[in-house]
Amino acid sequence: DTGVSQDPRHKITKRGQNVTFRCDPISEHNRLYWYRQTLGQGPEFLTYFQNEAQLEKSRLLSDRFSAERPKGSFSTLEIQRTEQGDSAMYLCASSPPGLAGTNEQFFGPGTRLTVL
């Protein structure tokens, strides 16, 4: 399967712990996005990478969140000092080169985070 993959699929942690999620995009895709989805809502944009450069970060993202995409391949999203409000599904998507606004984004299965 050559789609977007995410690891882990589920993560349960205690409040105050740090967690890290990984996303492997489709290999030819230079754009990578992270979104967060809570129950009953649509995904909300968190951050965007073009190759290895992080070009935008949502104001929704507190300083406890950090994302990287070394070498422009896989990406990691780290949450420090987790809070119960961080419980959500974290989605990664990638899209190919071209006009960003019109391109389809391919989504991974998501990582479901539960903070106890």
Partner 1 sequence: GNSVTQMEGPVTLSEEAFLTINCTYTATGYPSLFWYVQYPGEGLQLLLKATKADDKGSNKGFEATYRKETTSFHLEKGSVQVSDSAVYFCALSGQGGTSYGKLTFGQGTILTVHP
Residues that bind partner 1 (CB under 8 A): 4, 31, 33, 35, 40-45, 48, 50, 55-56, 91, 93, 95, 100-110
Distance CA 82, CA 50 (A): 27
Q: In this complex, which beta carbon is closest to partner 1, that of residue 72 or of residue 100? A: 100
And the tokens for 63?
A: 């300083």
Distance CA 50, CA 30 (A): 6
For residue 70, report the phi and psi dihedrals to the nearest 5 degrees: -65, 140
- Least distance from partner 1 to the Cβ atom of residue 16, Å: 30
The smaller minimum CB distance to partner 1, of residues 40 and 70, is found at 40
- Reading the block at residue 101, the tokens are 């606004």
Least separation in angstroms between CB 74 and partner 1 = 17
